[in-house]
Amino acid sequence: MSDGAALAGPDGALRCPWALSAPEYVAYHDEEWGRPVHGDDALFERLSLEAFQSGLSWITILRRRPGFRAAFAGFEIASVAAFTDDDRERLLADAGIIRNRAKIDATLANARALTQWSPGELDALIWSHAPDPAGRPAPKTLSDVPPVTPESTALSKALKKRGLRFVGPTTAYALMQACGLVDDHLETCVARSTPSKARGGATAPSTSASPC
């Protein structure tokens, strides 16, 4: 593809190279990845989709995201927590999602665990692990982006301690990237350099160093 440096897209703007590897990636890269996400349900969606992505390319999840949202009641925690055994069987038969039994069971279990948390507690816990941006120089190439960090390891441990599953350090770091806790757009990437977009408001839903 490249040496990992930013590449010019069809519009001439420089972007992280992974953003040009599939048509659906450009909008996701420009408008969602790295933008701050808040709200327990929104973060539960991101956390769930990152878990489903484990071992797969993010494009596989992105293309199925509408199916996931339909199957999991928009990732509303209370609704997913109320799913029955019949719902579980429905999910296992749903070709619109990834029919992985362990990941489906983890999503249902996580929703049930989160109903025991106070409102806003998931948001607060996740964002308490955001590193100081002053100590994170903008990456120049993809090789400068780590797959895991001390903060993501700590976040993983905190989530597991509270009973959540499929939340390893790499998944936790992908969540941090996708939800804007860190900005891993490359130094010359248009999505990093546009002040009106950078660190914007929450949007709905990312592999390790990038979604490739």
Active site residues: 28, 50, 58
Tokens of 145: 């982006």
> Which phi and psi angles does 68 have, rounded to 5°?
-60, -45
Q: Is residue 129 annotated as involved in ligand binding?
A: no
Q: Is residue 179 annotated as involved in ligand binding?
A: no
Instruction: Provide the 3-class DSSP secondary structure of residue 32.
Output: coil
Q: Is residue 185 annotated as involved in ligand binding?
A: yes
Tell me how far apart the alpha carbons of residues 111 and 105 are, in angstroms, rounded to a whole number. Answer: 10
CB 48 within 8 A of CB 78: no
CB 170 within 8 A of CB 3: no
Tell me how far apart the alpha carbons of residues 134 and 136 are, in angstroms, rounded to a whole number. Answer: 6
Tell me how far apart the alpha carbons of residues 39 and 203 are, in angstroms, rounded to a whole number. Answer: 10
Tell me how far apart the alpha carbons of residues 40 and 49 are, in angstroms, rounded to a whole number. Answer: 14
Q: Is residue 212 annotated as involved in ligand binding?
A: no
Find, among 130, 151, 212, 142, the residue nearest to 184 by Cα.
142
Annotated binding site: 16, 29, 185, 189
Show binding-site residues for Zn(2+). Answer: 16, 29, 185, 189
